[in-house]
Amino acid sequence: MRNKLISLEEAIALIKDDMMVMVGGFLGCGGPNAILEKMASNGSKRLTVIANDTAFPEVGLGKLIVSKQIKHMICSHIGTNRETGRQMNAGEIKVTLQPQGTLAGQIRAGGTGSGGFLTPTGVGTEVEKGKNKLVMDGVEYLLETPLKADAALIHAWKVDKKGNAVYRRTARNFNPLMAMAAETVICEAEEVVEVGEIDPDHVMTPAIFVDYIVDLGGRN
């Protein structure tokens, strides 16, 4: 079995300038905040980031906004981070806003290898600009295309050394979807246990999707 455990320093070294990166979490809850905080002090630049939101200026992904390491955000909302809005209005960052369910669907499509999906959400609004529209049974739909990334940064409550992951309650959020839709998946874990210590029925992200593990508990 390949050793997937790496340090925080090794994790951020895997994220290169100009990469497209998915970041799990919801307003910082369930986000890979230890990795993000390390990146904010010594990390890559000009990133395109796919995430539900940009958290808060002092939390997780918000710190990368403040340090201006992101050139393009693809997300559902930015309302909790005033700095994101300021940079967007000043032309310092590009922001693409997608309805939350649509964003989740795009990531799921990227992870499952489908060509996209149809949704009525956004028809007749700014969201439909530049997108293909189809009519089925008299209903207009937008064709939303898949989202994939070079890397995904996720956070789990418990992970075994093989990479099988368990999330805690609502901290699951976007993490399982993003783990399926990136070339390289780095999972920071609150606790790393031996293989076999996690009941297979409790595994939420199978080890096949996880490339690297950062043990926040310091257990090797």
Q: 28 in a domain, yes or no?
A: yes
29: tokens are 């809850």
What share of the chain in percent tops pLDDT 90? 94
Residue 220: is its pLDDT beyond 70? Answer: no
Q: Degrees (nearest 5) of the Cα angle 114, 115, 119?
A: 100
Q: 43 in a domain, yes or no?
A: yes
pLDDT for the residue numbered 47: 97
Q: Any residues with CB less than 8 A from the CB of 192 and at least 6 apart, and which? A: 5, 158, 159, 160, 161, 213, 215, 217, 219, 220
Q: How many residues belong to the chain? A: 220
Number of domains making up the chain: 1
pLDDT for the residue numbered 219: 42
pLDDT for the residue numbered 218: 59
Q: 129 in a domain, yes or no?
A: no
Tens of pLDDT, residues 23-36? 999 999 999 999 99
Tens of pLDDT, residues 153-184? 999 999 999 999 999 999 999 999 999 999 99
What CATH number is given to the structural domain containing 12? 3.40.1080.10
Q: 123 in a domain, yes or no?
A: no
* Domain ranges, residue 23: 5-115+146-215
Q: 186 in a domain, yes or no?
A: yes
Q: 65 in a domain, yes or no?
A: yes
Tens of pLDDT, residues 95-140? 999 999 999 999 999 999 999 999 999 999 988 999 999 999 999 9
Provide the mean pLDDT of the chain: 95
Pairing status of strand 5-6 against strand 212-215: parallel
In sequence order, which ranges of the chain are alpha helices (DSSP H)? 8-13, 33-42, 61-66, 82-89, 100-112, 175-180
The least confident of 40-44, 94-98, 192-196 is: 40-44
pLDDT, average across residues 52-70:
96
pLDDT, average across residues 36-64:
94
HSE, CB side, 13 Å, CA atoms: give it for residue 73: 27
pLDDT band at 217 (very low <50, low <70, confident <90, very high): confident
Q: 193 in a domain, yes or no?
A: yes
pLDDT, average across residues 8-20:
96
Q: 133 in a domain, yes or no?
A: no
